[in-house]
Structure 1
């Protein structure tokens, strides 16, 4: 332990030194931080060394038993739900308090309070998007419509707060000590805010960029480069699905005055490319044991502490296990004695922008049809550590907050844009998960989803009775074709959403003939679905690889499903590299290195395994080629998005001499081959630099997967250079900073068999041996046994605690 303490001290010193060189706010007083009785020394002990057999927890109606297994996964046994969730709050806070509070501070736009002015613009944008406003409405909705749910939230908060009240300065998580602040009481509002934060992480929009693209390319050019369906569409809901309902009518205005101006402004941050998820379920007729098998691996930022916290929650009526979201009640992705379920992002365009015409400089009224509607003002007081508070006035219309206006933009364009988003409406996602935790069949699964609004998710399902299902769930606006693809005139009432698609008519399927259901962030449906569906970020490779494998496989086992989650086959490279090599033609490789790279690329089997070198070469060559092709389009002042890789590769394959490849600023006419050659030249330059500075360019060393602490400056609390394969667009979608944040496979037999893993550990304390102990297993495609436990199953118990 003394050696560990020494290196822990060294890590803290490195973190502080880095923080001192990078603006992060005032460095805390060193004396309290180094105090052996209260400082970070107290954070060097792991949870098993601090375990107590009994703890007094107020407001319980009966004792609660908490059994920790060898991986520090708690199994909570309570006699009723209020006690269960009070204990869940307490136990989660024991291990993840700082993470819970930091994430809700981020969602509320309150990071400046703890790090100073460096976070001011981030906080301003967060507040202007209206996450806190949406949480206010969500809280009101629960109080008025679901008092039972609200009481359970209060029980959870009581558990968290009892833990906070028990903390001495010595017991504070180390991040509080470094950043020099203390935790606040937890509230139902914070739990609701956390779910709004997830919506913000997963939802994007490109209305402003598409507006610019339409002005630059014209309608025909836009349709050519950005088709709404790919040539090879393998949607979430199988194409054979027949829609046996009468859709609600959607009235398109006789004329739509689309804007023809380019907008020079900075769009909202979007989900990082490559962020996505996989889930699927196979029917018993395709499995070795005749039981349905479900798999789920949501892909998100790889962070420490992990986004997820594993636990089992048990009452006499139900027992559920899986991944919880610290700060929220119940299990988000998991299984119980009857069903299993999982989630992936449905990538639906759920945010639209409206141009607002104010009556005058006071902004007290805005034009709507033939009238002037009154605005509301929300004064956002942003407290800043070490400085006076910053006051920001945000104007609210009936559409939503005016995010961009005269007081918040980097340019001088006279434009005002309001954001309409389903997050700004009252909803009850927390009810969905608690009902799902207790559901017994497909009807219970559907009933739970009827409470779910945002973010849009693909919910996969399997049951012990043999059913498999998929439902794309969210509150989806009724839109006419192309509505919301470009920004709209807020003064025109005909631009309004015309209601919402009934939940029963959301895309769904039950027991399809093909014997499986699956999603990988691709198009949800084929063109036969009667409602308008659009998003800019659909996936085109993972889904096709997944569905091809599921169609081929028979006699499927749990081990097969684990292997499929860890599948490294690079379908994009398999389709693009032969085209690129053909277009490269008789390129004169005038160096030994160039010939070596070509040999490695030509002999590649298209698996992005960690020891392979060709994936690194392909990543650079394809990236530089795409950059060369679209540089002219994206280099102008008005922000745009470039065509996706699928469409670009299709153009390179089928129309290599198309005019889209020509660079207007040069006298000659360029083709796809010219860009491929320029890309290869760039590869040679990049590899010369890499080999001189880094040496080895095997895939794991090149992409350098890093699991980063939530405060990027705290590098000593991160894990770098994780040796693993995969990548964006691959089923094992492990990139440098994103990947499978949770992997789960469950066989729904007479005896349920389950396995799970995530890249982190149960503890949020960097000094604990349970902080990052899962990472090596996760990186190797290994899993933990995740079977349900009864109170009598004591094998492998680390310790247990009675809450009284």
Structure 2
């Protein structure tokens, strides 16, 4: 049987080597890959087969015990924090080293070192955004303001490096062997950079697109199609919340000068559709046990190895368990003996763009008011595998780096746009999680959050004492209404941010009367919040479904909360489909295929379960219709963003004969019904082809949820066609490539009960049985018992390791 496995792995490895050659232009040396003593064959063993009882580690003050449970989740017991995080670094590297390094190389704009010139443009963009620059600022900030945290970062790095130094060629993760490179030492800088990378994944801005829309539509139509507070907003902080502070004054300039031409530039990558999250907590007044229950499920790209790595970290003073981020210290979403917490993305626009007017082509100085300010330059040396290094000179202003200029994304001499972003300021997000891991109450939670700058997050909280809370935390610029929505003139000092909203005035709530707190990436507050809040991507469906269910539910149990995390109700379809069917009329009543689909849609209960066919039909019909409605707008050469699904449905419902549906370039006057009918015709064509070629169009089959390896070309290391329901805009937000990257439910009674799951496994080794063993449970809505362990528990222990 082992030799059959050998042949399978041999075939996959050779195929991957050829794929690397095709995609990246270089064939990795096959002899080392096929070497039975050092090559891929050594990666076919699972961790329990290679377990060691005692490992020698330098710089520990005392012995550290690591107990692995049956799912390969390590429970680390140390006598000091330095020992704990040194051990965390070592153990994490042992199972996720390649992932840790690959992600930080991506964040530093260094992928060209691994794969060659194919990644050069990506690396240039990353460097120009200034992620590494921001991490360097973070290093200095932490060293100067919190040397204790920096020592713990160095302890973690020391643990990673001791693992790397012990690593023999045979033990190298298989990705290093296929891509033909070796790991380098870890540093505190890399841990800080990793958290900046998470910011980049989660923050977006649409200044470019909105500037173009303002030019195309004018202010009146722009406000109509893209209202900042649409009808029916259901915010994170409960409507009617009383703000018990005196807000800082913000002065709006008398006149505002925006760039007045349409800009044909490629926007920076934005958070992908489907990126989001849910979290909530219910008070004991709504639960059967009388204990608060907290839930969290961050929605991110579904990748292997998984973004998360589960751990328990214990010292005599505290014990914390949950999801860690490989490369960062502590637990990011989890619980200890006294509290639980979780995070969702707050989708706040904290990146702004300024048009820079340079004095001359040398770019040595730029206009600022009546003066010329001096530019600084940062030369980015991008190493390229198989080629000479590429040198990219980036101009820096006091706003930040000039990302767009004549050498990047534009050949126009007058295009120079600088990026102002709070990531470029010194901060210490790592301290937030170090403090949350040891927190005991609401006051500790607030103290921890005061250190958090970016990315903006909604931090949910519950405690054993009965408190529940939500705080929207980040370092938020103090802006006048509309500031940062469009490109601004960098030569005008009035365009500057006017400071920051004080932490104490960030929107938050404690023990609201409704008995729950929740967030799902929607508007943070109602319109009474005294500061300007804007983002283009606020959610309108998951949040309303979630709040509706939490309002209705009583005598809530852990099982009820788990079922709610897996809720498949498709609210968008429930609101849009009846309108669409009404607008469709009887035009297709003589078409047998159309009648079949209409019957399926009319009988559908709006649950996007994997065996349902209604979701597939609606999904295609809606997208075809939506494209028809906005076809003229989307036909612009200049980049824009289209109106939201939610707003489009409101137009279809409230003004189906309105001007928004008329296509200006046609002789007739279109109404909503014309677009609905055309969308249906196109859906019929697509479905005819699908049924002929694929057959079954049940939702799971059509959606084809796929969990890809971090290198998408490594298809053999991915898992395709996961049988599960849900979708974008649904509480169970499992779409084709995105979904709940981690689900956690914690009940905080006298004994803490906790459950968690993520779509992957603890091991980063594709040859391990622990690489993807959680996926089926995750797809079914099942959980692992996440109760904390003690050192003397023996039930379910896979193996133990002593670090000396």
- Tell me the CA shift for residue 595 of structure 1: 1.1
Q: Does 1:12 align with 2:8?
A: no
Distance 2:388 2:222 in 1: 48
Residue in structure 2 matched with residue 551 of structure 1 by the alignment: 551
SS across alignment from 1:666: coil
Match of 1:517 in 2: 517
Take 1:792 and 1:200, find their aligned partners in 2: how far apart are those partners? 42
Q: What secondary structure does 1:48 align onto?
A: helix
Q: What's 2:676 paired with?
A: 676
How far the C-alpha of 1:695 sits from its partner, in A, is 1.0
Q: Please name the residue that 2:334 is paired with.
A: 334
User: How far did 1:590 drift?
Assistant: 4.1
CA distance in structure 2 between the partners assigned to 1:8 and 1:201 by the alignment:
33
Distance (Å, rounded) in 2 between the aligned partners of 1:749 and 1:208: 50
Would you say the 8 A contact 2:405–2:412 is kept in 1?
no
* Residue 2 of structure 1: how far off its partner (Å): 2.8
Q: 1:143 Cα deviation (Å)?
A: 1.0
Aligned ranges 1:243-392 → 2 under 5 Å: 243-392=243-392
Cα offsets for 1:657-687 (capped at 9, x unmatched): 1111111111000110000001001101111
Contact kept? 2:16, 2:178, Cα under 8 Å:
no
Q: Secondary structure at the match of 1:763?
A: coil
Partner-residue secondary structure (3-state), 2:615: helix
Per the alignment, residue 130 of structure 1 pairs with 130
SS class of match (1:678)? helix
SS in 1 for 2:460: strand
Cα deviation, residue 96, structure 1: 0.1
Distance 1:29 1:617 in 2: 48
Greater alpha carbon shift after TM alignment, 231-240 vs 320-329: 231-240
**SS state at 1:769 partner:** coil
1:760–1:775 CA contact under 8 A, matched in 2? yes
Q: How does 1:220-235 map to 2 (within 5 A)?
A: 220-235=220-235
**Secondary structure, counterpart of 2:151 in structure 1:** helix
1:422 aligns with 422
1:274 shift after superposition: 1.8
1:495 equivalent in structure 2: 495
CA contact (8 A) 2:18 2:27 kept: no
Judge conservation of contact 1:347–1:535 (CA < 8 Å) in 2: yes
Deviations 1:309-328 (CA, angstroms, capped at 9, x unpaired):
00000000000000000000
> Alpha-carbon deviations, 1:1-27, whole Å to 9, x = none?
333232222222332333333x22412
Question: Secondary structure of the equivalent of 1:186?
Answer: coil
1:37 aligned residue:
37
1:421-478 per-residue CA deviation (whole Å, 9 max, x = no partner) reads 0000000000000000000000000000010000000000000000000000000000
> Distance in 2 between the 1:126 and 1:307 partners?
20
Conservation of the 8 A alpha-carbon contact between 1:236 and 1:517:
yes
Q: Please name the residue that 2:105 is paired with.
A: 105
| CA distance in structure 2 between the partners assigned to 1:588 and 1:73 by the alignment | 56
- 2:725 is matched with 725
Matched, 1:644 2:644: yes
Which residue of the partner structure matches residue 457 of structure 1? 457
Q: Is the 8 A contact 1:25 1:385 kept in 2?
A: no
Secondary structure at 2:630 match in 1 = helix
Preserved contact between residue 405 and residue 417 of structure 1 (Cα < 8 Å):
yes
Q: Structure 1 residue 736 and structure 2 residue 724: aligned?
A: no
TM-score relative to the length of structure 1: 0.99
Distance 1:25 1:90 in 2: 34
SS at structure 2 position matched to 1:384: coil
**For residues 803 and 223 of structure 1, what CA distance do their matches in structure 2 show?**
62
Partner residue, 1:475: 475
Whole-angstrom CA distance in 2 between matches of 1:589 and 1:414: 57
For residues 392-411 of structure 1, the aligned pairs below 5 Å read 392-411=392-411
Q: Which runs of 5+ in 2 are unaligned?
A: none
CA distance in 1, matches of 2:601, 2:260: 45
Please state how far the C-alpha of 1:793 moved relative to its aligned partner.
1.4
- Stretch of structure 1 that moved more, 127-136 or 1-10: 1-10
1:658 corresponding residue in structure 2: 658
Q: CA deviation at 1:586?
A: 1.2
- Equivalent-residue separation in structure 1 for 2:244 and 2:774 (angstroms): 46
1:240-259 CA distances to partner (integer Å, 9 max, x unpaired)? Answer: 21001000000111111233
Q: Is the aligned partner of 1:238 residue 2:265?
A: no
Query: C-alpha distance in 1, partners of 2:413/2:604?
Result: 50
1:612 Cα shift? Answer: 0.4
SS in 1 for 2:320: strand
Q: How has the CA–CA distance of structure 1 residues 589 and 17 changed in structure 2, closer, same or farther, with 3 Å as cutoff?
A: farther
Q: Which runs of 5+ in 1 are unaligned?
A: none
8 Å CA contact 1:264–1:411 kept in 2: the answer is: no
Alignment of 1:189-204 (within 5 A): 189-204=189-204
The C-alpha deviation readout for 1:35-93, integer Å capped at 9, x for no partner, is 11110000000000000000000100100000000000000000000000000000000
Moved more, 717-726 or 2-11: 2-11
Q: CA offset at residue 641 of structure 1?
A: 0.4
How far off is 1:540 after superposition? 0.1
Contact 2:472–2:507 under 8 Å retained in 1:
yes
C-alpha offsets along residues 354-408 of structure 1, whole Å, 9 cap, x if unaligned? Answer: 0000000000100000000001100000000001110000000000000000110
1:81 aligned partner = 81
How big is the alpha-carbon RMSD for the aligned residues of Structure 1 and Structure 2?
Answer: 0.8
SS at match of 2:389: strand
Shift of 1:150: 0.5
Task: Determine if contact 1:340/1:746 at 8 Å carries over to the other structure.
Answer: yes
State the shift of 1:794 in Å: 1.6
* Alpha-carbon distance in structure 2 between the residues aligned to 1:266 and 1:208: 9
Cross-structure match for 2:181: 181
Contact 2:588 2:595 in 1 (8 A): no
Whole-Å Cα distance in 2 between the matches of residues 49 and 413 of structure 1?
A: 62
- The Cα of 1:260 is off from its aligned counterpart by 2.6
Partner Cα separation in structure 1 for residue 705 and residue 540 of structure 2: 23
Q: Which residue of 2 aligns with 1:115?
A: 115
SS at match of 1:4: helix
Aligned to 1:483, the other structure's residue is in SS state coil
1 CA distance for matches of 2:42 and 2:410?
A: 46
How far the C-alpha of 1:411 sits from its partner, in A, is 4.8
2:30 and 2:141 map into 1 onto residues whose CA distance is: 45
Q: Does the 8 Å contact 1:283/1:291 carry over to 2?
A: yes
* Cα gap change, 1:741 to 1:397, in 2 (>3 Å): same
Partners of 2:672 and 2:260 lie apart in 1 by 30
Instruction: Say yes or no: does 1:566 pair with 2:571.
Output: no
TM-fit CA distance, 1:410: 4.3
Q: Counterparts of 1:272 and 1:408 in 2: how far apart (Å)?
A: 23
Q: How many residues align?
A: 803
SS at match of 1:799: strand
CA drift of 1:413 comes to: 6.3
**Distance in structure 2 (CA, Å) of the matches to 1:259 and 1:125:** 23
The Cα of 1:709 is off from its aligned counterpart by: 0.2
2:803 is aligned to: 803
Would you say the 8 A contact 2:632–2:663 is kept in 1? yes
